Amino acid sequence: MLFNIFLYLFIFCIVSSGIKKYKKIHKNELSGPFPIPLLGNLHQLGKEPHYTLTKMHNVYGEIFRLHFGDVYTVVVSDPILIREMFVDNHENFKYRPLLPTFKFGAGGDHGLSLSNERWERTRELVQNAMKRTSIKKIYDMLDSQVYELIKSMKQYQVTGNPFEIHLYAQRFTLSIMFKYIFNEDISYDEDITKGKIAELVQPMDQIFKSLGSGKLGDFISIAQPFYYQWLKFSDKQFNGPFSTVKKFIYKRYLEHINTIDHDNPRDLMDLLINEFSNDKNLIPTILQTSLDMFLAGNDTTAASIIWFVLRMQEHPEIQLKAYNEIKDAVGDRDRVLLSDRPKTPYLNAIIKEILRLNPVGPFGLPHRSSNDIVIGNGKYFIPKDSQILVNYRGLGFNEKYFENPSQFDPSRFLNKNNDAYMPFGVGDRKCVGLQLAGDEQYLSFSNILLNFNLKNIGTPVSDYEEFGLTLKPNKFKVLLESRK
C-alpha cells in the first residue's frame, strides 16, 4: 500500500514536472536545450558546467534558458543585456534564488552575499563601516602583508626546490582578512600546513564547492524543504564545513564583545558591532556578514594570485616585459607601492587579462527575477522567479568583444576600455570589496615580479580547473629565480 502511494506520487511529480517544462509561457520565451521531467537539463551540465554553458552559448546565443530541475534558469553572457538587467532593472534582479543551500549558507536571511530582504540594509551598514576604516591603515596593512609574503618566498627560494604557490597565496589573503576583520595576526613563521590556516583552508574550500555546484535537493520543488532541514542537521551533527567556520567566527565575536572600545574600533567586526548594536536580533547579521567578508575576501584573491603565477611561468616574454616596466617605475626602491599603478599600464593590462581568461567566479552568485520582464528591445522574456546566471567565462570568451579569446594577450587592454570586462559584476550587488581586492592583486602581483623570475620546471603545467564557486588550477610547482 505504502509502495503504491509513493509510486503514484512519483508518477504525478514526473507528469506535472513535464507539463510545466513543456508548456509555452510567452511568445518571446528563450530558446534552450530540450529538458526532461524532474531533472530538466541538469544531466547535461556534467562536471564542468562553466565549459558546458560556454559551449551552449555558441549554440543558443548570448541569452538562453535551462531547467535546473524545477528551477527555470536564464544564462546570459552579453554585457549589454547584463547591464540592462542589473543596472537599468536592478530592482527586479537584486535578490538571490530561494534555494535551500543559499538559505542555509545565509543563516536564514542574514549577511551580505546570500541574503534577500535584509540585504540592502546590511550592505549600507557594511559600506558605512568600511568608509570609517582609515585608508592609510588599510594601505599600511597591505604593504606589511606583501612584505611578509615576499620574505617567506625568499626563504623558500634559497632552498632551490620547486615552489608551490597555493598555500602561500591563501596565507597571504587569510592574513589580510584576519587583520582587517578581526585585528588578528597570523605569524609567517607558522607552518602553513598546520595551525589556523590549515584549520580553515579545507572547510572553506568545501563551502565554495558546495555553494558553486548545487545539489539535486536545491532544484526539485518537492524535495527543497526536506533538503534544507537535512543541511541544518547534517552540518551540525557531523561538524560540517559551515559549522566549523561559524564556530570560528563566533569565538572571535565573543572576544570582541568582551574587549570592544566603542569609541576606538579596531577592525571591521568592531565597526559592525557598533552599527548593529541597537538591535540584538541583528547579532546573526554581524556573524554572517563577517563570515561572508572572510570567505569572499580570501578565496577569490588567492585564486587570482595562483592564476597569475601560472600564466607568468607560461609566458616568460610577457613576464619580462612587465618586470622591466615595474623596474622603471620603482627605480632603486625594493618594493612596489599602490602609487606606482599609473606608471605600470602593461601590468594593469595583465591583471585584466588574467581575470578575463580565468574568472575566479565563473558565474558569480546567481540572481532571481522578482517579476516577469521583457528585455533586449522586447526580444527576450524572463518569467518571475527565474534563476539568473551571468556566465563570466562565456563573457570573456565572447568573440564579439574579444578577438582570439583563447589567447593570453594583455595588449588587448592597452589604450582602450572594453565594456565586456566586468570581473566583479555590475549593479547594486557587485562585489562590495572590489577596491580592496584590486589593491591586493596589484601589490602582490607586482612585488612577486619585482623579486622573482617565475620559471617553468620543465614540464607543462595544466590549467584544468576544478569547478566550484571559485575556480583554481590544480596544484603545480615553479622555480623561483631571484632577480637580485
Do 235 and 321 belong to one domain?
Answer: yes
pLDDT band at 474 (very low <50, low <70, confident <90, very high): confident
User: How many folded domains does the chain comprise?
Assistant: 2
Highest mean pLDDT, choosing among 211-215, 285-289, 309-313: 309-313
As given in the structure block, the three cell numbers for residue 465 are 580547473
DSSP secondary-structure letter at 173? Answer: H
Residues 443 and 420 in one domain: no
Tell me: pLDDT of 24 over 70.
Answer: no
In the predicted structure, residue 10 carries a pLDDT above the cut 80: no
Mean pLDDT of 105-109: 68
Query: Is the predicted pLDDT of residue 310 greater than 80, yes or no?
Result: yes
Across the range 322-330, mean pLDDT stands at 97
Residues 190-216 have a mean pLDDT of 72
User: What is the C-alpha separation between 74 and 92, in angstroms, rounded?
Assistant: 14
Phi-psi region of 111 (alpha: psi -120 to 50; beta: other; left: phi over 0): left
Q: Residue 167 and residue 198: Cα distance in Å, rounded? A: 9
Please tell me whether residues 61 and 85 are part of one structural domain.
yes
CA 99 to chain centre: 18
Does residue 407 share a domain with residue 260? no
Asked if residue 431 belongs to a known ligand binding site, the reply is: yes
pLDDT at 115: 63
Angle value at C-alpha 213, between 207 and 215, nearest 5 degrees:
100
Which has the higher per-residue pLDDT, 466 or 82?
A: 82
Across the chain, mean pLDDT equals 85
* pLDDT tens-digit map of 345-391: 999 999 999 999 998 888 888 899 999 999 999 999 999 999 999 99
Instruction: Tell how strand 367-368 and strand 387-390 pair up.
Output: antiparallel
Longest distance between any two alpha carbons in the chain, whole Å: 84
* Exposed / middle / buried, residue 287 (Cβ in 10 Å: 0-12, 13-18, 19+): buried
**Same domain assignment for residues 187 and 275:** yes
Are both 115 and 191 inside the same structural domain?
yes
Band the pLDDT of 111: cuts 50, 70, 90: low
Query: End-to-end CA distance of the chain, in Å?
Result: 80
| CATH number of the domain within which 478 lies | 1.10.630.10
Of 381, 408, 427, which closes a domain?
A: 427
Q: How far apart are CA 140 and CA 117, in angstroms?
A: 36
* pLDDT more than 90, % of the chain: 41
Q: How far apart are CA 19 and CA 6, in angstroms?
A: 20
Q: What per-residue confidence (pLDDT) applies to 260? A: 92
Note whether 301 and 441 are within 8 A (CB): yes
Query: For residues 62 and 455, what is the distance between their CA atoms, to the nearest angstrom?
Result: 38
In a shared domain, residues 141 and 56: no
Tens digit of pLDDT for each residue in 416-458? 778 888 888 888 888 777 888 899 999 999 999 999 999 999 8
Long-range contacts (CB closer than 8 Å, 24 or more residues apart) made by 35-43: 35/66, 35/67, 37/13, 38/13, 38/14, 38/69, 38/70, 38/220, 39/69, 40/66, 40/67, 40/68, 40/69, 40/70, 40/71, 40/219, 41/66, 41/67, 41/68, 42/67, 42/68, 42/69, 42/216, 42/219
Q: Which helix (H) or strand (E) holds 466?
A: strand 465-466
Per-residue pLDDT, 37: 84
Q: Span 148-161, mean pLDDT?
A: 93
408 and 433 in a common domain: no
Pair 231, 149 in one domain: yes
Cell numbers at 193, concatenated: 600546513
Residues 298 and 422 occupy one common structural domain: no
> Which among 388, 404, 427 is the end of a domain?
427
The residue ranking higher by pLDDT, 280 or 139, is 139
Domain that holds residue 60: 1-92+366-427
pTM, to two decimals: 0.89
Q: Of 385, 404, 427, which residue is a domain's last?
A: 427
Q: Higher-confidence residue: 483 or 214?
A: 483
C-alpha cell at 63: 541569452
Are 191 and 71 in a shared domain? no
Pick the more confident residue, 163 or 247: 163
- Could you tell me which residue, 379 or 10, shows the higher pLDDT? 379
Domain match, 323 and 407 both: no
Whether the per-residue pLDDT at 23 is higher than 70: the answer is: no
